[in-house]
């Protein structure tokens, strides 16, 4: 299944199958109900239909029809090429969606009833809130949260990553996705979605375009195009009356006048004046932008999020699981003065036996690895394990008096909490241990203090590793004008400062609560800045929902994934660079094509208007009138000028399809520099290209004697 997906994802835009499918879909888009959604192309199709009617009339009357036939065909081709651009943009998404549909599994689930029994049910019978048991080899039926146990899960069908991932209860890695497979151990899952609304279903819906909505800028540009089309339609409809009046006036002055505008010429003028280029490619730009995100393993819930990503000013992100790998592992035992290494390791191992967090398990593993300490029996009646709580910030064990041994209490946790616990029992917190805590924090580690009764035994050094290439990527974000100033973490200030220096963020917020994260985002937004937030935990959900662009890590909780408007399947916080670049690329591409289209429309007036009025004010004995001087391009005849312009108008859409699909390349630069580049390349280029293209087509038309 994974290999199938990878094959689909690597499929080229111009693969034969994609082209064939796009061709068929382009023909289907001639349906008036579909065409009406694109007003510019709808008007162009109406003009092509009128030209076709004129052709039939000429055929019936036995009049020459070659010119009218070519005009009608090229107008239909114009509509077809616009449809083809959109269909080609959709083709990649549909191919990927087909691959995702192949991953859908319809298996039975082991439903845990309220009575504590198992019941085999189909997926369709499951409801949000149900609890199901999944063991090694089982397919996870629907999206959910792990509430009991820990297991290795194969998510390659979704992420493309072959290595299994750990999913466990009680942390930021509790979310599981329907359709993935449990590799080892077993977990109890609480279903968080209704059937048909899974993460996989949302992915399929987005990539095939079923739920794609136009972005605000796309909608605004669409309204502008409609307004311009209506204006030019009114202008063109007024031309026959104007030309007739001028013709009558010329004849009254004794000139030979041929100013009547035929229907094919009229619709040709309309098709060339209205913004057909951007009108035909606008939808393709938006679709291809979302597709480029999908190819980078990012699911965008809305096109607006992609667009806004191109304009963000500030990046906020959580440390654990985003900047760092998130699995803080026990790296070293640091005993207090007078305490043996083995003594500290034994106490730390005892305090961690009931700790099912990755940190707790890593302490047990380190004790075994360094000192060969084996696990104890946890069911002894004289042992009471103290679970970790947010209020105490400690865990540990109370061992009652037995076999002549005195009672003892061991605690492991945050330095401040353990220090207070020791002081209550009449002990003191050694200054040497305080220095150890600070030293561990300075190097970016997390210190856990271990105490037995009133004696402080030492420090456990937990190391959280910064992801590779973070500093370089943050530097690139700054080059784009994005401030990485909202780095927030629940760690102490020293740890936060160390990680911030290593990662290269601008500033940070230590010991941050969900309320503090939310307040920081609102503060930035109140200052007129657009904020992007990345996170993976349930505590990040409010901030992800408030941010203009909320990128949730796929490895995170279900709450985080539902709160964000994007999900990064690779769980890489620096993926925001690609997201921003794609957003900027989509905005720049749309702006470039719009500039090129409007410049084209201006340039196309130069060949077509002189051709329309060249027959006016012609004196006896002269081949052409004074208005022929406006033919600055030296086109062979009025008919060839009009036909050349119509052909160029159609072919320019074809020429720009690759640019619309691939996007204009983006390089970090200021707005002024980007604007200058847009005007020089696409503005000036849009003015020059028609002169060259139309002249060349005119030469071909006359060489082949098409008119």
pLDDT in tens, 359-380: 788 888 889 888 887 655 545 5
| Pairing state between β 181-191 and 144-154 | antiparallel
How far apart (Å, rounded) are the C-alpha atoms in residues 323 and 357?
20
Give the rounded percent of residues in the chain with a pLDDT score beyond 70. Answer: 84
Instruction: Look at residues 106, 198, 64 and name the one whose alpha carbon lies nearest to residue 143.
Output: 198
Can you give the pLDDT at residue 9?
A: 43
Question: Which residues 6+ apart lie within 8 Å of 60 measured at CB?
Answer: none
How far apart (Å, rounded) are the C-alpha atoms in residues 257 and 703?
28
Here the tokens at position 317 are 């992100």
539 DSSP assignment: G
Provide the 3-class DSSP secondary structure of residue 414: coil
Instruction: Look at residues 448, 451, 452 and name the one whose alpha carbon lies nearest to residue 461.
Output: 448
Half-sphere exposure of 247 (CA within 13 A, CB side): 15
Can you give the pLDDT at residue 693?
A: 96
Please report which confidence band the pLDDT of residue 622 belongs to, taking 50, 70 and 90 as the band edges.
low
Provide the 3-class DSSP secondary structure of residue 428: coil
How far apart (Å, rounded) are the C-alpha atoms in residues 157 and 155?
5
Q: For residue 318, indicate whether it is catalytic.
A: yes
Contact 129, 558 (CB under 8 A): no
How far apart (Å, rounded) are the C-alpha atoms in residues 247 and 661?
47
How far apart (Å, rounded) are the C-alpha atoms in residues 107 and 356?
30
How far apart (Å, rounded) are the C-alpha atoms in residues 452 and 350?
11
132 DSSP assignment: E
Helix axes 358-371, 341-352, angle to 10 degrees: 140
Angle at 15 between CA 11 and CA 18, to 5 degrees: 90
Contact 489, 512 (CB under 8 A): yes
Can you give the pLDDT at residue 697?
A: 96
Beta strands of 140-245 (E only): which ranges?
A: 144-154, 165-168, 175-176, 181-191
Please report which confidence band the pLDDT of residue 229 belongs to, taking 50, 70 and 90 as the band edges.
very high
Half-sphere exposure of 279 (CA within 13 A, CB side): 32
Can you give the pLDDT at residue 423?
A: 93
Here the tokens at position 36 are 């009406």
Q: What are phi and psi of 314, to 5 degrees?
A: -130, 140
How far apart (Å, rounded) are the C-alpha atoms in residues 273 and 88?
26
Strand partners, 487: 317, 508
Rounded to a whole number of angstroms, the CA Rg of the chain reads 35
Contact 399, 411 (CB under 8 A): no
Contact 488, 512 (CB under 8 A): yes
Please report which confidence band the pLDDT of residue 615 belongs to, taking 50, 70 and 90 as the band edges.
low
Average pLDDT over residues 558-581: 81
Here the tokens at position 339 are 């305490």
How far apart (Å, rounded) are the C-alpha atoms in residues 335 and 341?
6
Instruction: Look at residues 379, 365, 542 and name the one whose alpha carbon lies nearest to residue 462.
Output: 365
| Of 33-42, 256-265, 686-695, the least confident | 256-265
Here the tokens at position 448 are 């856990």
- Report whether pLDDT(4) > 80: no
Q: What are phi and psi of 128, to 5 degrees?
A: -55, 130
Please report which confidence band the pLDDT of residue 482 belongs to, taking 50, 70 and 90 as the band edges.
confident
Average pLDDT over residues 502-511: 70
Contact 204, 196 (CB under 8 A): no
Here the tokens at position 668 are 């970090």
Question: Which residues 6+ apart lie within 8 Å of 527 measured at CB?
Answer: none
Question: Which residues 6+ apart lie within 8 Å of 661 measured at CB?
Answer: 13, 85, 88, 89, 284, 288
- Report whether pLDDT(3) > 50: no
Annotate 31-100 with DSSP letters as a single string.
SHHHHTTSHHHHHHHHHHHHHHHHHHHHHHHT---HHHHHHHHHHHHHHHHHHHHHHHHHHHHHHHHHHH
Element (H, E) at 441: helix 431-442
Here the tokens at position 194 are 């209704």
Q: Which residue has the tokens 């959109």?
A: 86
How far apart (Å, rounded) are the C-alpha atoms in residues 521 and 532?
9
| Annotated catalytic residue within 318, 355, 548, 698 | 318
Instruction: Look at residues 569, 550, 572 and name the one whose alpha carbon lies nearest to residue 559.
Output: 550
Can you give the pLDDT at residue 188?
A: 93
Q: What are phi and psi of 287, to 5 degrees?
A: -65, -45
Residue 116: left if φ>0, alpha if ψ -120 to 50, beta else—which one? left
How far apart (Å, rounded) are the C-alpha atoms in residues 281 and 83?
9
Please report which confidence band the pLDDT of residue 134 belongs to, taking 50, 70 and 90 as the band edges.
very high
How far apart (Å, rounded) are the C-alpha atoms in residues 246 and 239?
10
| Of 51-55, 177-181, 573-577, the least confident | 573-577
Here the tokens at position 616 are 């006016």
Average pLDDT over residues 552-579: 80
How far apart (Å, rounded) are the C-alpha atoms in residues 681 and 430?
70
- Report whether pLDDT(6) > 50: no
The pTM of the whole model exceeds 0.85? no
| Pairing state between β 181-191 and 394-399 | unpaired
How far apart (Å, rounded) are the C-alpha atoms in residues 172 and 544?
15
Q: Which residue has the tokens 């409007």?
A: 598
Write the pLDDT tens digit of every residue in 334-359. 999 999 999 999 999 988 887 767 77
How far apart (Å, rounded) are the C-alpha atoms in residues 584 and 312?
10
């Amino acid at each position: 299944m994974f290999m199938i997906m990878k094959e689909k994802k690597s499929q080229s835009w111009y693969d034969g199958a994609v082209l064939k499918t796009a061709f068929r879909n382009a023909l289907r888009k001639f349906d008036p109900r579909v065409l009406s959604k694109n007003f510019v192309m709808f008007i162009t199709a109406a003009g092509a239909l009128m030209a076709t009617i004129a052709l039939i009339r000429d055929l019936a009357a036995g009049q020459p029809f070659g010119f009218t036939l070519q005009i009608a065909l090229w107008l239909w081709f114009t509509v077809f090429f616009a449809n083809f651009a959109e269909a080609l943009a959709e083709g990649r998404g549909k191919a990927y969606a087909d691959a995702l549909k192949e991953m859908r599994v319809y298996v039975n689930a082991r439903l845990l009833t309220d009575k504590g029994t198992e019941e085999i049910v189909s997926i369709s019978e499951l409801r949000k809130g149900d609890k199901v048991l999944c063991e090694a080899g089982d397919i996870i039926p629907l999206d959910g949260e792990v509430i009991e146990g820990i297991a290795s899960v194969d998510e390659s069908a979704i992420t493309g990553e072959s290595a299994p991932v750990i999913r466990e209860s009680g942390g930021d890695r509790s979310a599981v996705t329907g359709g993935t497979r449990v590799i080892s151990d077993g977990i109890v899952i609480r279903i968080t979605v209704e059937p048909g609304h899974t993460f996989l279903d949302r992915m399929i819906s987005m990539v095939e375009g079923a739920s794609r909505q136009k972005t605000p800028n796309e909608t605004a540009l669409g309204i502008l195009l409609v307004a311009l089309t209506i204006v030019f339609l009114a202008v063109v409809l007024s031309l026959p009356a104007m030309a007739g009046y001028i013709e009558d006036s010329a004849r009254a002055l004794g000139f030979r006048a041929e100013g009547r505008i035929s229907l094919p010429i009229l619709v040709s003028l309309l098709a060339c004046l209205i913004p057909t280029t951007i009108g035909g490619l606008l939808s393709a730009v938006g679709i291809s932008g979302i597709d480029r995100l999908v190819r980078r393993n990012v699911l965008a819930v809305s096109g607006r999020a992609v667009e806004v990503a191109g304009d963000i000013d500030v990046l906020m992100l959580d440390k654990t699981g985003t900047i760092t790998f998130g699995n803080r592992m026990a790296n070293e035992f640091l005993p207090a003065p007078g305490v043996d290494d083995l003594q500290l390791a034994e106490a730390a191992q005892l305090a961690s036996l009931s700790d099912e967090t990755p940190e707790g398990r890593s302490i047990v593993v380190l004790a075994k690895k360094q000192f060969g300490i084996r696990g104890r029996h946890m069911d002894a009646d004289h042992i009471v394990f103290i679970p970790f709580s947010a209020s105490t910030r400690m865990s540990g064990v109370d061992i009652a008096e037995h076999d002549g041994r005195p009672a003892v209490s061991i605690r492991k946790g945050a330095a401040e909490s353990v220090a207070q616990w020791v002081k209550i029992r009449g002990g003191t917190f050694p200054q040497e241990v305080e220095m150890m805590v600070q030293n561990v924090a300075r190097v970016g580690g997390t210190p856990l203090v271990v105490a037995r009764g009133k004696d402080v035994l030492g420090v456990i050094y937990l190391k959280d590793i910064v992801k590779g290439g973070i500093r370089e990527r943050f530097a690139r974000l700054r080059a784009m004008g994005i401030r990485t100033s909202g780095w927030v973490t629940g760690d102490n200030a020293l740890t936060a400062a160390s990680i911030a220096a290593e990662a290269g963020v601008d500033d940070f917020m230590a010991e941050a609560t969900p309320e503090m994260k939310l307040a920081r985002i609102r503060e930035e937004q109140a200052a007129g800045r657009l904020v992007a937030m990345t996170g993976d935990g349930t505590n990040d959900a409010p901030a992800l929902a408030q941010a203009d662009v909320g990128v949730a890590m796929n490895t995170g909780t279900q709450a985080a994934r539902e709160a964000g408007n994007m999900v990064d399947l690779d769980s890489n916080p620096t993926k925001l660079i690609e997201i921003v670049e794609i957003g900027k690329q989509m905005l720049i591409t749309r702006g470039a094509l719009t500039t090129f289209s409007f410049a084209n429309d201006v340039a196309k007036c130069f060949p077509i208007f002189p051709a329309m009025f060249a027959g006016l004010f012609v004196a006896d004995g002269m081949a052409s009138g004074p208005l022929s001087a406006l033919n600055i391009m030296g086109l062979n005849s009025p008919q060839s000028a009009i036909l050349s312009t119509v052909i160029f108008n159609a072919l320019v859409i074809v020429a720009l399809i690759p640019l619309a699909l691939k996007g204009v390349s983006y390089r970090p630069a200021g707005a002024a520099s980007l604007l200058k580049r847009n005007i020089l390349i696409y503005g000036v280029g849009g003015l020059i290209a028609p002169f060259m293209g139309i002249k060349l087509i005119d030469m071909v038309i006359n060489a082949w004697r098409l008119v």
